[in-house]
Structure 1
């Protein structure tokens, strides 16, 4: 091993112009230089240049990519439609529940008045008005 180290130490270092004149990809230390480039795109469909590269690898690749984009778009639209319908159904259900509660309280008020319990009818009536006011002001 000492002989190898001595041989490496005794080698002359190439001059700057000697390194430039070499036509291979090796630098003065013998390491292979490589150039890598990468680019990034944003969006669901690759740019045309990349689609062409995919086509060179597999002829049906652009068709498959576009079909996948189409199916994903339909799925997203369907999901958004279901979300909107769910929101509408929830609001409608809440409105029906509020209507039932208000009618029940109003029934209690009228029944209390029928029985002659004015104090309970008045408190129930105030609760009914407060419930409706909070529902209106909430919107």
Structure 2
């Protein structure tokens, strides 16, 4: 069986009822009794339901649009192409922004580590070895935690997600 949830899937259903319909259902009023029987036998119901999912209309729909408004199919195609280009440009812009943000965060983290090393050196040179050891241990734990987990804790053990595919946010 084909996957009905595919985005470009045509769903075409035809339902035909070939039974006589009673006149009261169809609201047909015939004044002559001999014609009434003919109407009861010839009235049938035919129903066709059609739906389509996808980025573009079916070709026959495009032809019908062109018959109603000449050039409509070309306008629809050009709009689709322009929208696709825009969507790709926005995706690319978002990726470039994420890369820039990550690079900036890495430079800031590197700078903070260097400042930490300078602080440790100065504390050691001025005879504060215990404090320098505490700062060095805290710096080491912070850097390892940042590189190994890369998540921001929100609450009681829950990670904040970026909303795309369930990945956690990187620092």
Equivalent residue for 1:129?
140
The alignment of Structure 1 onto Structure 2 pairs a total of residues equal to 119
Q: TM-score, normalised by structure 1?
A: 0.75
CA distance in 2, matches of 1:70, 1:77: 11
Cα RMSD (Å): 2.8
Equivalent residue for 2:77?
66
Q: Choose the corresponding residue for 2:64, options 32, 53, 56.
A: 53
**C-alpha spacing 1:90/1:21, structure 2 compared with 1 (3 Å):** same
Deviations 1:75-119 (A, max 9, x none): 000000001001101111110111111111111100001111111
- What's the offset of the Cα at 1:36? 6.5
Q: Choose the corresponding residue for 1:116, options 107, 112, 127.
A: 127
Unpaired runs of at least 5, structure 2: 1-30, 151-171
- What's the offset of the Cα at 1:18? 5.0
Equivalent residue for 2:38?
21
**Greater helix proportion:** 1
Q: Which has the larger radius of gyration?
A: 1
Following TM superposition, where does structure 1 have runs of at least 4 consecutive aligned residues deviating by more than 6 angstroms?
Answer: 33-36
Equivalent residue for 2:115?
104
Equivalent residue for 1:80?
91
CA distance in 1, matches of 2:127, 2:39: 112
CA distance in 2, matches of 1:108, 1:93: 23
Unpaired runs of at least 5, structure 1: 1-12, 28-32
Q: Report 1 or 2 for greater relative contact order, CA contacts < 8 Å, sequence distance ≥ 6.
A: 2
